Amino acid sequence: MPVPTIDRRALLGSASLALVGTGGAVAPAQAAPDAKAAPEPKAVPPEVTRILARYVVGARYADLPETVRHEGARTFLNWVGVAIGGSHHETLDVAVSALKPFSGPPQAGLFGRTERFDIMNAAFLNGVSSHIFDYDDTHLKTVIHPAGPVASAILAYAEMNPVSGADFLNALVLGVETECRIGNAVYPNHYDVGWHITGTAGVFGAAAATGKLMGLTEQQMVWALGLAASQPVGLRESFGSMNKSFNPGRAASNGLFAAILASKNYTSSDGMIEAKRGWANTIATKQDWREITEGLGTRYEAALNTYKPFACGIVMHPAIDAAVQLRGENHLTADAIERVDMKVHPLVLELTGKTAPRSGLEGKFSIYHAVAVALVEGAGGEKQFSDRAVADPVIAALRARVKPVVDPAIRPEQVEMTVILKDGRAFDRRIEHAIGSVERPMSDAALETKFRDLAEGILPEAQVRRVMDLCWRIGELPNAGDVARAGVQA
């Protein structure tokens, strides 16, 4: 008997139509009887969830290209550095004290601290710590910060259940691959409307990577991805509050939670990514399934990861780069500057348009502050986004003379800046790709300098050197959990 399924899309207005997107669960034969009322059904998507699960379950470290392994180690080292750096921020103090009474056995440590938690809370807390300064890694195609959700989950797991460094690095790459490919499939619409994509796509990465280390079967991996799909995290409205760093942390613990349940055969549906009322159709208006399923094992999103030389959102980096360059070349001082004209991409003002930030955290969302402090101090590190820097009267005064203008012809990685001095002189700089981009990557040495700056005052220098060495050699370590043990306070 044919099932007289109705196509709900025919009952909805155009807005909901768009929201429903590809009618994954509705085979063409089951479309609404009134063909004129219903939109042309798009092609039925492939079994995206299963294809991805099969790939993750089968992928071997031996098959990873050397460039991908090295980028994985860079991703890991950068993440450990920012997690140590954030470890004594008020945000983490608050979270640690809130969660301590509920923690399970002391299974995993926190970078830069002495406390130990069960692995789900440890994953959350290290994930929060690594994003507090907004200084972590960025997959520029999606603005996902890939390491936070994935590395936080698998390192906690690895501390409790010994795994080789090769398996660990393989899982890290696969987790990053999973979240970035899923992010590619729905970006930009998904991000534009308000989701914090690091948390909504990141949860898949955490589930896939932990599931890989646990040795899930293909079916269990399908369920892990399904339970991950049920737990997206984060909205852009929270940017500028502690809630922003909450998101990668919670994505890590949610993904771990999903994999742990799936490992005992807690079931989900088989098509949670692609089904009509699955994740992608519910949470976004764009679904490009090929981004998830094509080139698995040959094209690596994980190789496109980038690292920030400046401790703030990536959209401000071209402007900071220009300001640092102009200051250094021309010995600029704040009192000599009449004003700073800039042409910027529209996202710059949308994301970082705060004219009068009141805290270091808010300073990360102020292009006015970022440019002013870079001109005054010649840098854009964590110290430049502190409460101290934001309250500095010289910097605050210069902020008001920073005049960004949106120019749709400017790409996100570009800026055009003119610093006009009171004596009438003017200095121009056009940035095509900011330092830290795929085109102008930070060197391994620059990553070490960043790491040392972040760890200063938290871990002794010799310990910092040891942790960095372990990170570079992650793929050869007999026990990946050693990195976690090496990175805590004595």
Footprint (CB under 8 A) of a copy of itself, residues 450-479: none
Q: Residue 475 Cβ, how far from a copy of itself at the closest point, in Å?
A: 28
Closer to a copy of itself at the Cβ: 103 or 164? 103
Closer to a copy of itself at the Cβ: 353 or 460? 353
Interface region with a copy of itself, contact rule CB under 8 A, candidates 40-48, 52-60, 242-250, 380-388: 242-250
Backbone angles phi, psi at 110, to 5 degrees: -110, 130
Closer to a copy of itself at the Cβ: 178 or 231? 231
Site for a copy of itself in 103-132 (CB under 8 A): 103-105, 107, 118-120
d(CA 195, CA 237): 9
What are 328's strand-pairing partners? none
Interface region with a copy of itself, contact rule CB under 8 A, candidates 58-66, 96-104, 168-176, 474-482: 96-104
Q: Residue 201 Cβ, how far from a copy of itself at the closest point, in Å?
A: 15
Site for a copy of itself in 356-415 (CB under 8 A): 400, 404-406
Q: Residue 114 Cβ, how far from a copy of itself at the closest point, in Å?
A: 18
Would the CA dihedral through 469, 470, 471, 475 be positive or negative?
Answer: positive
C-alpha distance from residue 18 to each of 284, 288, 383 (Å): 9, 14, 45
* The binder of a copy of itself chosen from 29, 62, 102, 423 (CB under 8 A): 102
* The binder of a copy of itself chosen from 268, 306, 384, 414 (CB under 8 A): 268
d(CA 91, CA 113): 14
Q: Residue 467 Cβ, how far from a copy of itself at the closest point, in Å?
A: 26
Site for a copy of itself in 210-239 (CB under 8 A): 223, 226-227, 229-239
Site for a copy of itself in 172-191 (CB under 8 A): 189
Q: Residue 61 Cβ, how far from a copy of itself at the closest point, in Å?
A: 27
Check: CB of residue 137 under 8 Å from CB of residue 447. no
Site for a copy of itself in 21-40 (CB under 8 A): 25
Q: What is the 3-class SS of 265-325, one letter each residue?
A: CCCCCCCCCCCCCCHHHHHCCCCCCHHHHCCCCCCCHHHHEEECCCCCCHHHHHHHHHHHH
Interface region with a copy of itself, contact rule CB under 8 A, candidates 3-11, 67-75, 133-141, 380-388: 3-11
Site for a copy of itself in 195-214 (CB under 8 A): 195-196, 199
Residue 271 engages a copy of itself in binding (rule: CB under 8 A):
yes
Residue 261 engages a copy of itself in binding (rule: CB under 8 A):
yes
Site for a copy of itself in 412-451 (CB under 8 A): none
Closer to a copy of itself at the Cβ: 150 or 275? 275
d(CA 112, CA 488): 5
Interface region with a copy of itself, contact rule CB under 8 A, candidates 204-212, 274-282, 449-457, 472-480: 274-282
How does strand 137-139 pair with strand 305-307? antiparallel
Site for a copy of itself in 316-335 (CB under 8 A): none
Q: Residue 328 Cβ, how far from a copy of itself at the closest point, in Å?
A: 28
Backbone angles phi, psi at 421, to 5 degrees: -90, 160
Cis peptide before 408 (omega within 30 of 0): no
Closer to a copy of itself at the Cβ: 155 or 435? 155
Q: Residue 120 Cβ, how far from a copy of itself at the closest point, in Å?
A: 6
* The binder of a copy of itself chosen from 67, 267, 330, 333 (CB under 8 A): 267
Interface region with a copy of itself, contact rule CB under 8 A, candidates 65-73, 91-99, 134-142, 174-182: 91-99
Would the CA dihedral through 111, 112, 115, 121 be positive or negative?
Answer: negative
Residue 19 engages a copy of itself in binding (rule: CB under 8 A):
yes
* The binder of a copy of itself chosen from 35, 43, 193, 426 (CB under 8 A): 193
* The binder of a copy of itself chosen from 37, 43, 97, 329 (CB under 8 A): 97
